[in-house]
Chain A
Amino acid sequence: MAKKGDFVGLFLILSSAAAILLALTMIFIYAPREAVMGDVQRIFYFHVASAWVGFFAFFVTFLAGIGYLAGGGRRWDSVASSSAEIGLTFIAMTVITGALWARPVWGVYWTWEPRLTISAVQLLVYVAYGMLRVSVEEPERRARFAAVYGIVAFVTVPLSWFAIRWWRSIHPDILTGGEEMSITPRMAHTLLVSLAAFTLLYVALLRQRVRLERLGDALAYLRSRFERLPR
């Protein structure tokens, strides 16, 4: 393995760092102070952006799973598991920022608001995916089972979304129902930049995590060869 620098990886890290800085600037300076909720509303940008990545990452896991089963090989499985790991982090951030936002605005940390609920369900799916991977020792089987679960889980997510949405529309939360946030153009710009920055961050992290997987595989292989050597 020639020792060359990972230029793409470096570029991704630097550009995502720049994008995040830009997004932070816009969130705290460029975006206006929301009329009703005040400064607390700025969490919204983090919340929505991490939700977007949280779900997008699972879509990538879904695609990578299909790729693996179609004969793709270990590379696809590495992408699937790495994306799931990153997605788990972002969806956890979604749930936490949701709770932090809910408290000052509505007085409670948790409401069964549709978006928050589906994020919680997605969190559970990610956790299940992770637990599954940990419970299977043989690498080929682990990849196969994870791919199957990633595929099946992904197709139920839209159905869960509808179910939760319709459920909450029958009994709208007294607390959150009717509180619509009006979005000004400045807020829209900030949101778009935040989405782009978080997505770029996701890609940068994904690349690093996949590289880490590959190094881990190489290490395991070397270890197994070393253990075979005659004493």
Chain B
Amino acid sequence: MNFVRKVWAIVAKDVVAEFHSREVVSAMLVFAVLATLVFSFALDLRGDVARVAAPGILWVTVAFAGTLGLSRSLAREQQSGCIDGLLLAPMDRSVIFFGKAIGNLVFMVVVEVMLLPLCAVLFDVPLLQAGVLIVMGLGTAGYAAIGTLLAGIAVNTRAREVMLPVLLLPLAVPVLIASVRAVSGLLEGGTLADVGSWIGLLVAYDVIVVVVSMLVFGYVLEE
């Protein structure tokens, strides 16, 4: 139970700090909205074309905005050497992993909550349905988990934040394909059962990625 309490303490700390400074969510949100608008103009998205492209644009936007948030969130621990504060505490390294990953998930979800209605309106697609929300949740969870691990690496390289998309996107291919296909299927009137295999893939990805990231995260934090 101590484990859960400490993970929760880290998540709460990130949420409160974000509440005060608003730097992570605002960066993600501004980027996400801008990207969505730019896509709409550049691809001249109207009518049927918009409806077909919507899930893809939504996820590309979430993915790139996500890298911004993930970087910022890890960079915050580097300020004032706070990561040492976490490493000094008497707890397993995995507490830090889950605390940061769940915090990152929360931030991404907050941005998605604002992005979904926007896309629903712009592209005229019924995004606000339970099935879509579930898919978004599963996809974001896997992305946040592996993203937290890779952000931990990226933030310690010469190229810093620029490194994260390079590392993350090739590994996020399963999430991107599965989530976009699943949302697409749901928008065309399918049920969750119809997109069941995609959801299965997302769940498998989430489980595998969370377990592996948790196991190796300690090696990333070492000096």
Contacts and interface: CB of A to CB of B under 8 A. Distances in A.
Interface string A148-163: 1101110110011011
Contacts, number: 90
B158 A135 contact: yes
Contacts of B119: none
Nearest to A144: B219
A160 B219 contact: no
A99 interface: no
Interface residues of A, number: 30
Given A69-B219, A152-B213, A164-B177, A145 B156 contact: yes
Interface stretch (B14-22, B106-114, B166-174): B166-174
A60 to B, nearest CB: 18
A121 interface: yes
Given A148-B149, A156-B205, A166-B197, A132 B163 contact: yes
Given A128-B167, A148-B216, A159-B205, A136 B157 contact: yes
B167, B170, B208: residue with the most chain A Cβ atoms closer than 10 Å: B170
Contacts of A1: none
A166 B6 CA distance: 40
B173, B181, B212: residue with the most chain A Cβ atoms closer than 10 Å: B173
A153 B216 CA distance: 12
Contact of A167 (B157, B169, B177, B222): B177
B174 A160 contact: yes
Interface string B182-223: 000000000000000110010011001100110010011010
A155 B201 CA distance: 13
Given A69-B216, A144-B219, A159-B201, A152 B174 contact: no
Q: For chain A, what secondary structure do more than half of its interface residues adopt (helix, strand, loop), or is it mixed?
A: helix
Interface string B115-147: 000000000000000000000000000000010
Nearest to B173: A160
B216 A152 contact: yes
Given A121-B173, A144-B222, A152-B149, A132 B158 contact: no
Contacts of B204: 159
A124 to B, nearest CB: 4
A75 interface: no
Given A121-B170, A163-B174, A152 B146 contact: yes
Size band of the interface chain B makes with A: 20 to 34
A147 interface: yes
A146 B123 CA distance: 41
Contacts of B209: 152, 155-156
Interface in A140-195: 141, 144-145, 147-149, 151-153, 155-156, 159-160, 162-164, 166-167, 170
A118 to B, nearest CB: 9
B153 A149 contact: yes
A159 B174 contact: yes
Contact of B153 (A145, A160, A166): A145
Interface in B48-63: none
A147 B173 contact: no
A6 interface: no
A148 B174 contact: no
9 contacts: A121-B170, A125-B171, A128-B166, A144-B220, A145-B153, A148-B220, A152-B212, A155-B209, A166-B181
Query: Nearest 8 CB-CB pairs, A to B?
Result: A135-B157, A159-B174, A163-B177, A124-B170, A163-B174, A160-B173, A135-B158, A156-B171
Given A124-B169, A155-B209, A156-B208, 10 more contacts: A125-B170, A145-B156, A148-B216, A155-B208, A155-B212, A159-B204, A159-B208, A160-B177, A163-B173, A163-B174
